[in-house]
Structure 1
Amino acid sequence: MTLLGRSLYTRLALRVGLVLAISGLVLLVAIVLSTRLAANDAYDRILTGSALQIAENTWYQNGTVNVDAPISAFSMLTANDQVFYVVLGPEGRVVAGDADFRPAIPWKKLIQGPVVVQGTYLELPVSIAFVGRRMPVAGPNPWAVVILAQTNNARASFAKNLGTNASVVILVMGLLTLIAALFTLYQALAPLKQIGAAIQRRDLNDLSPLTQEVPAEIHVLVASINEFMRRLGVHRALMRRVIGDAAHQLRTPVAALLSQMELLSMQHDDAGRAQHQARLQELTHHLGELVNQLINHAMVQHRADSASLETVDLASLAREQMTDMLSHHAQRHLDIALHAPEHSCLILGDPVSLREALKNVLDNALKYGAKTLLHMTIRRSGSRWALEVEDDGPGIPEDDWERIRKPFSARGGNRLGASLGLSIAEEVMRAHQGDMRFGWGVDRHFVVTLRFRAA
């Protein structure tokens, strides 16, 4: 059962929303800081300009510093703020302005040019501009200093309004971006729903590939679905073929078996009954063999596409199968031999299918070939291992070599069965990228050769 997880759309939407929220928050903080810096810089320039106007109207005459502060210097400053100023002579005497307004003068910075600092006066936060004008007097600080201060109400209000307006724009744009991103995600995931709908609309017997156009990102998914349906189609066709073959091949022997049972029930003399019982036993035996072969044939066909391959020692496998098959023919006097290298003969294959192939080749040789001799030889042939099964029987006519590779081919000599033994071996070899060959050896002995790719 497939567990239903969280929606892919929901997960993507949450991630996109989180990224946008973090980005918007960082941008808002950056805008607030940048608007404050911009407001401070603009108002500091205005404050410095006003202080410079006062300094330009400051002069030295008859041993004293004189000031004529122009009204325009104060008109540049914001009307809603309080303004304080004082002009000090080189000796520290108040020349003009508020005598109580005496902030500390940054002499080292003042030498380099106008200075703006933050401070407090009358418990009010103020921005203070210091501008020095050199006077023609001797002393350590020959400067007339203009000190102009302004409260920060205007600049704070300007920074707040600018930051608020920018924040509203960012929030609106962020919301629009989020809506666009959610719509884009919905559109991007739409092909997945289309694929699901296309599969649901299909008939149960329709296993043809999906042919609709899909984005490159989910092409792998569609290709996997198509490959799965292809394999499912192959297995379904195999199942139908197995069922059809079994029905076709079992019909005749079952009918013959029923016919013999009816004939047996009609016999009244012992000789007739014995004859029909023997025939019935023979038919039952061959029916069992046929069923067994049909099952093995279906098993080999199934494992050809589903079984995982392992490293197998061909010599050990051949020795095991030869011993097992000969145990059923112990009463026969045969010249038996197995010639194989002392080292391992490794191949890559499915052990179950390989045993079935060897068993059928050996069974075919013991039943219809070997009279007095059965030899098995394993030798290396280039990049392959060749397993040869040699017997001194009549062999298979060359005209039939291709026919007997196919299942259910006609049998010679009035033999019963479905002719599946060598066809099973052929299918196993084909599944292992090998081949099965027929030929004649020394003294016209018939040889079946199975060639495997070496591991």
Structure 2
Amino acid sequence: MWQKSPDHHSLSEEENRALKKAPSLRFRFILAGVLVIGIIAGLAINLIFDYSQKLADLSYDRLLRSALLQMDENVSLIRNEASIDIPWSAFATLAQAQEDRVFYKVESVKQGFITGYQDLGTPTGPSVLDEIQFYDQEYSGEMVRFAWIERYLTDPETADTVRIVLGQTRLSREEMSTAITQRAVEVVVFIALVAIALIAIGSHLVLRPLHRIEWALEERVMGDLTPLDINTPKETHHLKVAINHFMARLQTNLEQLENYTADAAHQLRTPLASLRALAENARDNISTAGTSPHAQYQALENIVKQCDALSQTVTLLLNQAVVSHRLQTHRLEPINLLEPIRASCRAQAVTALHQGVQLSLDCGLTTACILGDGFAIQQMMQNLIENAVRYSAVGANNATEVIVQVRAFEHFYRVEVIDYGGGIPDVEKERVFERFYRGRYDIAGSGVGLAMVKDIVDHHGAKIEILDTHPKGTTFQVDFRKFSVDGDTV
């Protein structure tokens, strides 16, 4: 049973290897948290980078717009020709970005190039009069941010359309964007590290209820299988309930083992004592002068009969142990109910004939599908048939037949074991399934066969009744639920 667990240095080599190979729930919890935080941090940094770029463009585009408007205000028509006087204030505005260079070009539809950098590219987008537009383009080996506007000029004699293009390199913009991104990334990384640290601490607190359950089990004395009575969170409540159910099943198994041991001791003690007494009696008769060979033969015959009875008892106890184990460890499966019934009838037919009883099977079915354990049902039928044969063959002149009958109803199959013996009084019908109860001690028996029958019937969710056979005798009637082809009980 459980004892105080030693530390891992005291574990066996095999347990240490298993401990090393075992996955860590805390590590998985922290790793999952780190991955989630990493993904969120990556998305946040990407968004920050985009935002910083847009913020830098927004700030410096205002300067570029202001300078372009100042240039636009100085465009006019002089003697039917477009002219511009570049104001120094426009370049003073752009000079706030000290590391950037400025490019410009002024041209008209009629005159073509007027002033500035003639090789400056022409905007590719559609033009909208009197509306400033922005675009990025590489010029002179650098990426340049351009702003441009088209203006329609008129006077009494002529009209012309003038385009002004003003560009500024992106060095200051990139510097501003990098500064914003770096500061924001530092904040995000700091928050991520703090979150990871909190997850590491939180994982310890989250797994603490599991350690409480572990400590509660380790502190128990040997043999203590009482339910755990500690407060646990909802997430570990089902684990606690499962452990309690497991300990309840283990307690039931231990009790059954103790009962089986007591049964075995009880069943073996009496025939062994009787066998010893018979052997001593045979020894005394042989040593006594004048003992006839017939008396010696009879004494040895009694010993043989007692050995047979002891063998039957041992077989019954072994079958009971096997059935008890199967009922606890094997799941019920779809089986043909007729197969274990036929096997039981074949196994008991010869024994019944030796006792002057004819065993017959009355069944018009070809198959009868139920959820069950074939071995357990066969043991149940053997006990019922053996019990019917035993009580039919004693003290009843006409009790020479035992009938096993199988019939089908709408929702269940009915199995009946019918004998014509002396019957069972009504006051004893409720007690025959009690362990060690025997209605008649003049007939050989152990008193555990029908108790095992009741256990098997209950495990299969079946129903058993004891009825009177007319004109006399007893009928054991067992109803098993049908199992349909689609996997549902009917």
TM exceeding 0.5 = yes
19-28 vs 166-175, which deviates more? Answer: 19-28
Q: Does 1:198 align with 2:221?
A: no
1:424-454 Cα shifts (integer Å, max 9, x gaps): 3233222222333333333324333333333
- Residue 95 of structure 2: SS of its match in structure 1? coil
Maintained 8 Å contact 1:300/1:427: no
Task: State the one-letter code of the partner of 1:444.
Answer: K
Q: Does 1:418 align with 2:446?
A: yes
- Residue 160 of structure 2: SS of its match in structure 1? coil
Change over 3 Å in CA distance of 1:158–1:260 after alignment to 2 = same
The match for 1:91 among 99, 103, 111 is 111
1:338 alignment counterpart:
361
- Structure 2 residue runs of 5 or longer lacking an equivalent are 1-13, 484-490
| Alpha-carbon distance in 2 for matches of 1:311, 1:61 | 106
| Alpha-carbon distance in 1 for matches of 2:149, 2:26 | 63
1:23-66 Cα shifts (integer Å, max 9, x gaps): 32333233223312321232122122122123324444566766
- Structure 1 residue runs of 5 or longer lacking an equivalent are none
Equivalences for residues 398-409 of structure 1 within 5 A: 398-409=426-437
1:356 alignment counterpart:
379
The match for 2:41 among 24, 31, 44 is 24
Maintained 8 Å contact 1:118/1:128: yes
Change over 3 Å in CA distance of 1:311–1:124 after alignment to 2 = closer
Change over 3 Å in CA distance of 1:127–1:244 after alignment to 2 = same
Change over 3 Å in CA distance of 1:266–1:134 after alignment to 2 = same
1:163 alignment counterpart:
181
2:160 alignment counterpart:
141
Task: State the one-letter code of the partner of 2:40.
Answer: S
Change over 3 Å in CA distance of 1:50–1:416 after alignment to 2 = same
Maintained 8 Å contact 2:335/2:372: yes
2:417 alignment counterpart:
389
Q: Does 1:228 align with 2:246?
A: yes
After TM superposition, give the deviation of residue 173 of structure 1 in Å: 1.7
2:10 alignment counterpart:
none
- Residue 322 of structure 2: SS of its match in structure 1? helix
Change over 3 Å in CA distance of 1:280–1:25 after alignment to 2 = same
How does the TM-score come out when normalised to structure 1?
0.84
Maintained 8 Å contact 2:135/2:146: yes
Change over 3 Å in CA distance of 1:435–1:82 after alignment to 2 = closer
1:378 alignment counterpart:
406
Maintained 8 Å contact 1:260/1:276: yes
Q: Does 1:188 align with 2:206?
A: yes
1:227-283 Cα shifts (integer Å, max 9, x gaps): 322222211111111012222332333233334444444441234755543443333
| Alpha-carbon distance in 2 for matches of 1:439, 1:123 | 108
Task: State the one-letter code of the partner of 2:94.
Answer: L
Change over 3 Å in CA distance of 1:78–1:319 after alignment to 2 = same
- Residue 448 of structure 1: SS of its match in structure 2? strand
Percent identity, aligned pairs only?
Answer: 25
106-115 vs 246-255, which deviates more? Answer: 106-115
How large is the RMSD of aligned CA atoms in angstroms? 3.4
Task: State the one-letter code of the partner of 1:8.
Answer: L
Change over 3 Å in CA distance of 1:31–1:192 after alignment to 2 = same
Equivalences for residues 167-178 of structure 1 within 5 A: 167-178=185-196
44-53 vs 174-183, which deviates more? Answer: 174-183
Task: State the one-letter code of the partner of 1:77.
Answer: L
Task: State the one-letter code of the partner of 1:49.
Answer: S
Maintained 8 Å contact 1:235/1:302: no
1:10 alignment counterpart:
27
Maintained 8 Å contact 1:289/1:417: no
1:33 alignment counterpart:
50
Maintained 8 Å contact 2:154/2:160: no
| Alpha-carbon distance in 2 for matches of 1:258, 1:290 | 16
After TM superposition, give the deviation of residue 302 of structure 1 in Å: 3.1
